[in-house]
Homo-oligomer: A and B are copies of this chain.
């Protein structure tokens, strides 16, 4: 899909490509490996076709075997959200890891140095302020390292990031004076496009505006004599537009590997691209149009939809058009069906979560399906690494 409006049909998650009884027990997060591989290959092809590097955000999967698939398909490396995730993926042999988060505080900096001393992987870090970088530079220089720093630029999300243009150039020039770090590039997360764009054309235009702000800023930095290499933009919902932008060198989508209800409703994926499901058991049938399942917010999270509103939902019931988890408590999910359903206590359903990333973070392990059968159970080894 490149900018095509989603149709009713592509938005309704069908039954997953496996029988639910192949899963040993519930609630269980289940990955369909065939669909994962297809999603991985398609994003890699898009990046290759446009001559940009692909650096998937591994916060979605938190799984070294999936990072390995992404690298094998051509990714230049991965992004992670926290240093603890970098430690896991470096330990698993991923050779190029960008920690897209400011490392603040003596413990974090000590751990960064320890990581540099024990890995051969390239570890780059994010920063948007001089006071974040100075302690890193000092520690790195004294340990004999030069850490690549990628400057975070705020193109509209208003979370972290220095402003584009002169403020970025000024920060880059201060950083360029420091021993122990190297200004490697600029990046942005244009997450505001998800919630603010009103149409696919809107999304394209907003993504292109973010790209232009970032690329123009990169040119200004280069003009000041700092030869930065990386100009990085593009998430799962926007990278198909970002690759069209001139002077962008890298995209960093994450969710594309599994997709979820939010990606579906914003037209970034179709129902056939859904590669992760929560398999749950019906534990109560209070009414003809209602069922209670054994997956609540401790499995599905309390995350709302990023965009779109098919009524209140914490996830869609795959194969039951119009059926959603409409209320969660920690261990209970209340499903509501548009018409009476004959599901019985003990039957299983597959839920497509609103937002897959935090769902994976709640799972100690996931079941992996190949050709319709569970073939492996993978430990989610980077889950819970919030430090």
Contacts and interface: CB of A to CB of B under 8 A. Distances in A.
Most chain B C-beta atoms within 10 Å of own C-beta, residue among A25, A26, A28, A361 = A25
A108 B131 CA distance: 53
Contacts of A129: 284-285, 345
A218 interface: no
A105 interface: yes
A387 B158 CA distance: 39
A339 interface: no
A325 interface: no
A302 B297 CA distance: 9
A292 interface: yes
Interface stretch (A140-148, A329-337, A367-375): A329-337
Interface string A192-236: 000000000000000000000000000000000000000000000
Interface residues of A, number: 57
A25 B385 CA distance: 12
Contacts of A263: none
B332 A357 contact: no
Interface string A45-75: 0000000000000010000000000000000
Given A292-B160, A386-B298, A105 B25 contact: yes
Secondary structure at the A interface, as helix, strand, loop or mixed, is loop
A340 interface: no
Contacts of A17: none
Contacts of A28: 387
Contacts of A59: 330-331
A364 B384 contact: yes
A159 interface: yes
Contacts of A346: 104-105, 131
Contact of A159 (B104, B191, B334, B362): B334
A345 B357 CA distance: 27
Contacts of A104: 281-283, 294, 345-346
Given A284-B102, A292-B159, A132 B345 contact: yes
Given A25-B387, A297-B358, A345-B131, A81 B330 contact: yes
B160 A284 contact: yes
A362 B384 contact: yes
B284 A128 contact: yes
Interface string A334-360: 100000000011100000000001100
Contacts of A362: 361-362, 384, 386
Interface in A242-300: 281-286, 292, 294-295, 297-299
Interface string A2-42: 00000000000000000000001111100000000000000
A302 to B, nearest CB: 4
A168 interface: no
Interface of A: 24-28, 59, 81-82, 101-102, 104-105, 107-108, 128-129, 131-132, 154, 158-160, 191, 281-286, 292, 294-295, 297-299, 301-304, 327, 329-332, 334, 344-346, 357-358, 361-364, 384, 386-387
8 contacts: A27-B387, A105-B281, A131-B344, A159-B286, A159-B292, A160-B286, A362-B362, A362-B386
